[in-house]
Amino acid sequence: MDRIAQRAGVNKRLIYYYFESKEQLFLAVLERAYEDIRGRERELNLTQVDPIEAIRRLISFTWNYYLEHPEFLSLLNSENLHRARHLKQSRKVLTMHSPLVQTLADVLRRGSKAGLFRAGVDPVQLYISIAGLSYFYLGNCHTLSTIFDRDLLGAKAKLERLSHMTDLILGYLVRE
């Protein structure tokens, strides 16, 4: 709390007054992080483009967001270590994710109706797969780079990963 107060240029008591506790401060940070990613996902206008392009945009966005915001992955790691103790207290988190699920469900429905995508794809499972392909790679890039003797964070490797993830997800979704 001392470092936070110093960086914010405020008195530590003011932070405690506003947030009441470290836990409430952490929850506010988590909620703000989720608000940011969900808000930026809305800017992708996934319902305004063809379904394949929408999926490509979501995969690319997720990958690049994680690359540009490693603090988001750190927050997720910390909250998972605590078994989502803070998020379970959130009144906002479920309402933030519902529009994303609805948007993805719409994209999948349009793709299926057009004969592009397989039917019956669960939008939550699909999103978890997209996020997981990025998250695991970036969360373990140092150990994976070492054991495979490859720089997984080099520019070429990052482009290859994005291409691979896109091929995987579209390979699953697209009907032949």
DSSP the chain: -HHHHHHHTS-HHHHHHHHSSHHHHHHHHHHHHHHHHHHHHHTT-GGGS-HHHHHHHHHHHHHHHHHH-HHHHHHHHHHHHTTTTTGGG-SSHHHHHHHHHHHHHHHHHHHHHTTSB-S---HHHHHHHHHHHHHHHHHTHHHHHHHTTS-TTSHHHHHHHHHHHHHHHHHHHB--
1 belongs to a structural domain:
no
Averaging pLDDT over each range in 61-65, 73-77, 85-89, which range is the top one?
Answer: 61-65
144 belongs to a structural domain:
yes
Residues of the domain holding 123: 27-173
105 belongs to a structural domain:
yes
120 belongs to a structural domain:
yes
59 belongs to a structural domain:
yes
Query: What pLDDT was estimated at residue 98?
Result: 84
> How many domains are there within the chain?
1
Locus of tokens 């703000």: 32
pLDDT band at 60 (very low <50, low <70, confident <90, very high): very high
| pTM score | 0.87
What's the CA gap between 55 and 44, in Å, rounded? 10
Q: State both tokens at 89.
A: 């207290």
| Euclidean distance between the first and the last CA atom of the chain, given in angstroms as a whole number | 56
Per-residue pLDDT reduced to its tens digit, 78-113: 999 999 988 898 888 878 778 899 999 999 999 999
82 belongs to a structural domain:
yes
3 belongs to a structural domain:
no
User: Residue 140 sits in a domain of what CATH number?
Assistant: 1.10.357.10
What's the CA gap between 63 and 73, in Å, rounded? 12
pLDDT band at 49 (very low <50, low <70, confident <90, very high): very high
14 belongs to a structural domain:
no
Per-residue pLDDT reduced to its tens digit, 105-145: 999 999 999 999 999 999 999 999 999 999 999 999 999 99
